[in-house]
Amino acid sequence: MTSTPALFLDHESLVPLIEELSKTLEVVAPVYAEGEPVFATWKGEALALDADNPLNSPVEFFLPQKEVLFKYVQYSGRYTFSEEPPKSRLILGMRPCDLQAIKVLDEIFGTELSDHPYTSKRKSTIIVAMNCTSPGKGCFCASMGSGPAAKEGYDLLLTDVGSGYLVESGSPAGMFVLRANSRHFEEASPEHLKEKERRLALAEEEIVKRRLALTPEQIREAIDETDWEEVERRCLRCGGCSLVCPVCHCFSVMDRGVPDGERLRCRDTCTLAGFSRMTSGANPRASLGERLRHWYLDKFVYIPEKTGMLGCVGCGRCSRVCLSDVDRWSILREAIE
C-alpha cells in the first residue's frame, strides 16, 4: 500500500478542507436528514461523522438502487446509444465494514467480465474512510474480520483521536489530496498514533464481547440446523434487509420507452418471490424459507467460494431495518446453541 507519514487534522479544519475539495469534486458525506444520519451529496450541512453508521450504505453511489445504464434513440431503423460519464466524486466517512463490502463487490463486478457502470464509478471516486472508534449497538464487524480498523482499500483514512483526526494515506490519489491541501495539516505525534491504537482496541473489545464470532464450519452447521419455516413466519417479506445490505448486488434490467428510451438497472433481491420465478410460472425457491436459506448460503458459502471473502461485513443494517425485529446473526447462533 502506498503511504506517507501520518498527519493530524484538527476538527475545525475539516469543513474548510472539504469546502475546497467540493470545488472540483462531488463530496458525499454523512449528514443529518430529519434527525437521522444519511450519506448524501454535501452542500454545507452539519456533518454526522460522530453518529451511527447511516442506514443507507455509501456503496449505493457505486451500485445505485436505480440507474440509467444508457439511453437509446431510433432513427430510420437504426439505434444510437449514449451514456452519462461518471462524476468525479469523494466519499467522506466510509466505515471499514462498507470498505470491505466494496472490496467484495470489486471482485464480483471488476474481474472476469467487468461491469462497466460499476467500475467506471469506482475509478472516478476517492474514498476517505473513517476508523470506527464508537461502534453502533448492532455492529459485529470484528466478528466478520471487517473492522473496526480499516486495513486497505482507502485513499485516505481518518481516525478520531479526540483532539482531531489522525490522517493516513493509502494511495497516490490520497497522497495528492494531502499535498495539494497541506496547509490544513500538521505532522502527527507519537501520542496521536498511540491514541488511535488505544481507541480501536477498546472498540474491538466491545464488539467481540457482545457479538461472539462463529467459525465457517459453525455457520454452515447453523444454516443446516435452522428452522426456516419458523423464520418464514416471522418475516414480513419486505426485502428491506437486502436493499440496505452493502454486499447484496442482485438486480433486474428493464427498458423504458419505445422506440426511444433508456435501459435501467434496478436493485432486486433473491428473498422476493418474483426474483427466481421463471416465465413458465415455476419457481425453484417457491417458499420464503427456501429463499432465506439461499440468502444465508450466498453470504457465507457462495460468495466466499467466488471471492475468498465473506458476503457479510457485520454492519448490522439488516437487523436495524427489519420491521419484525429479526436479528440475522442471532438466528445462526440460536440454531447451534
- Give the DSSP per-residue string, 32-101: EETTEEEEEE-SSPPB-TTSPPPSS-GGGGTS-SEEEEEEEEEETTEEEEE-PPPPPEEEEEE-HHHHHH
For residues 198 and 227, membership in a common domain is answered with no
* Cis status, amide bond into 259, omega within 30 of 0: yes
Q: Are residues 173 and 32 in the same domain?
A: yes
- In which band, very low, low, confident or very high, does the pLDDT at 3 lie, cut at 50, 70 and 90? low
Mapped onto helix, strand or coil, the DSSP state of residue 169 is strand
- Residues 203 and 253 grouped into a single domain: no
Kindly tell me the burial class for residue 124, based on how many C-beta atoms sit within 10 Å of its own C-beta (0-12, 13-18, 19 or more): middle
CA distance 199 to 251: 39
Assigned domain for 286 exists: yes
Label residue 276 by pLDDT band (50, 70, 90).
Answer: confident
Best CA proximity match to 105, nearest among 93, 114, 95: 114
111 pLDDT tier (thresholds 50, 70, 90): confident
Record the pTM: 0.90
Q: Kindly indicate the confidence band of residue 312, based on its pLDDT and cuts at 50, 70 and 90.
A: very high
Last residue of a domain, one of 180, 210, 240: 210
Whole-number pLDDT of residue 13 = 93
Give yes or no for residue 107 having a pLDDT over 90. Answer: yes
pLDDT above 50: residue 1: no
Residues 297, 226, single domain; the answer is yes
Give me the number of domains the chain comprises.
2
Which of 157, 181, 210 delimits the end of a domain? Answer: 210
Would residue 304 count as lying in a domain? yes
Residue 317: which domain range? 216-336
Examine the domain organization and report whether 150 and 224 are in the same domain: no
**In terms of domains, do 203 and 236 share one?**
no
Given 153, 180, 210, which residue is the final one in a domain?
A: 210
Answer yes or no: do 66 and 180 share one domain: yes
Q: What nine digits make up the cell of 111?
A: 474481474
CB-based burial, 24-49: b 16+ in 10 Å, e otherwise:
ebbbbbbbeeeeebebbebeeeebbb
**Confidence check: pLDDT of 97 > 90:** yes
Q: What is the pLDDT of residue 327?
A: 81
Instruction: Please state, in angstroms and rounded to a whole number, the distance separating the CA atoms of residues 12 and 207.
Output: 30
Domain check: are 41 and 94 in the same one? Answer: yes
DSSP assignment, residue 300? I
Asked if residue 137 and residue 83 are part of one domain, the reply reads yes
Same domain assignment for residues 191 and 244: no
